[in-house]
Amino acid sequence: MTPAARLQATIESLSDLEESGNPASHIVSRYLRKRRYIGAKDRSTIRNSAFDIIRDQFHLDLQIRNAGAKPTPRSRALANILISGNSLDEIALLCTGHRYSPPKLTEPEKIWLLTLTKISKVTAQARPNWVRGNYPSWLEPELWRSFGGDVMSEMVALDSPAPTDLRVNEAKANRKQVLKTLHSQGFKAEPTSFAANGIRLFNRPAITSSEAYRNGLIELQDEGAQLIANLVDVEPGHCVIDFCAGAGGKTLALAPKIGKRGQLIACDTDSARLNKIKPRLKRAGVRHVETRVLTDDDAWLTKAKGTADRVLLDVPCSGTGAWRRDPDARHRLTPTLLANYVVKQQVILDLACHLVRPGGRLIYATCSVLASENKDQIERFLHMWDNFSVSPVGPIWRKTVGANGAPDESMLQLTPKRHGVDGFFLAVLTRTR
């Protein structure tokens, strides 16, 4: 492909993304799949260009507006290559209107692009915090409540590319064995900092095509998610309910710990999402997991009251802690959507707490860094339910993870800056009676 064709493909993929409102990874991949004539090198270039623009969108939009234009997929792509060092004449040579090339520059476009070349470049320090930190301006108060004066450093870390983490399936192998296998196959891999079964890869390798993955020795899972599963503190023989199991990532992590004598139930309201766990369970060699699709007025919820030693609530949330992996999610999040998540979390907490037996634990987790979804929810819950109390995470961490990194706070907030993992929150609530 010519540089002009790659530019047009980038614009088209960004346009598809804006129209769909779905995650960028899905939309860009779908765009490229439909165009099988595009070679591997060009696919990589187009994908990287699209994601560079997505990651820098707040800055690009600010610059475009300062130049007197409206942010669109095309204007962002043009501004990006201009800011990257291309001249207006070079951009005009790319926009010829010929087959596979972007349409010619209009006179208004030439004016605002020329303006963009002349206006004073806004230095990094002079940009608004929300541009420097790459987050929606309306989230500023929320993030300050969460991080205080560390907002900028935390958000910069949350904007960095995420590594690829693996969890070793301890039912089939140990980390030392898997590392040896991966190294022999040319993968650059090392143990994770905290999770005992975690492995970190570099350079985004095609790990799902590896023999270790096909044979169920490893699963893709961020180290932070692995730590959440560890902190559930499952013991052999426990009755454990993964109440919002989704595709079953944490269910798979819990299964080897509970053993065949225990009971592990993976629940979700979305049957299609829950069904995705079945081939994963088969590949991992796990056969003692019950899956259950939850419905309104589900009789099982009444039957299961007070039976669970552990109930894990990895609740639907804003996903702000996973922005490294889903960079366009920060553009899809709205105040209304956040408010809806908060209400949904409250409903789930109030429903699932009845499943916990006296002395058992309710583990509340999100992949969010926002106080409204985390500490605020726990405070509200404890006010409503006086038969639960917070169990400090530190002792549980020392027991299940080790002394390294054990938190002093009663509740846990993982972040890329502090721990090198996705942003996860966890609170352990013990039923006292």
One-letter amino acid identity for 173?
Answer: A
Instruction: Determine the pLDDT at residue 118.
Output: 83
Number of domains in the chain: 3
Dihedral of CA 204/6/63/370: which sign? Answer: negative
Please give the share of the chain, as a percent, with pLDDT higher than 90. 75
204 in the same domain as 238: no
Domain-terminating residue out of 182, 198, 220? 220
CA distances from 363 to 81, 130, 295, 307 (A): 47, 32, 22, 15
pLDDT at residue 124 in the model: 55
Q: Of residues 340 and 99, which shows the higher confidence score?
A: 340
Same domain, yes or no: 202 and 306: no
Q: Are 271 and 192 in the same domain? A: no
Q: Which pLDDT tens digit goes with each residue over 134-179? A: 999 999 999 999 999 999 999 999 998 889 999 999 989 999 999 9
Asked if residue 366 is part of any domain, the answer here is: yes
Supply the pLDDT for residue 349. Answer: 97
**239 and 197 part of one domain:** no
Q: Could you tell me the pLDDT band of residue 233, with boundaries at 50, 70 and 90?
A: very high
Last residue of a domain, one of 220, 255, 287: 220
State the CATH number of the domain containing residue 406: 3.40.50.150
Q: Is residue 133 part of a domain?
A: no
Q: Tell me, what DSSP letter sits at residue 123?
A: P
Q: Average pLDDT of the chain?
A: 92
- Same domain for 334 and 253, yes or no, is yes
Q: Do 179 and 116 lie in a common domain?
A: no
- Any domain includes 159: no
Q: What is the CATH number of the domain that holds 9?
A: 1.10.940
Residue 209 and residue 93 share a domain: no
Give the highest mean pLDDT range of 194-203, 281-290, 358-367. Answer: 358-367
pLDDT at 291 over 70: yes
Chosen domain end from 76, 98, 127: 127
Same domain, 109 and 188: no
The pLDDT of residue 36 is above 90: no
Mark whether 298 and 405 lie in a shared domain. yes
Q: What angle do CA 89, 94, 98 make, to 5 degrees?
A: 130
Residues 37 and 102 in one domain: yes
Active site residues: 367
Range of the domain at 376: 223-431
pLDDT at 355 exceeding the cut of 90: yes
Q: Is the Cα dihedral 32, 33, 34, 37 positive or negative?
A: positive
**Rounded mean pLDDT, 18-29:** 84
List helix spans (H) across 84-238. Answer: 88-94, 107-118, 129-132, 140-147, 151-158, 175-184, 211-214, 223-231
Q: For residue range 308-351, list pLDDT tens digits in order.
A: 999 999 999 999 999 998 989 999 999 999 999 999 999 999 99
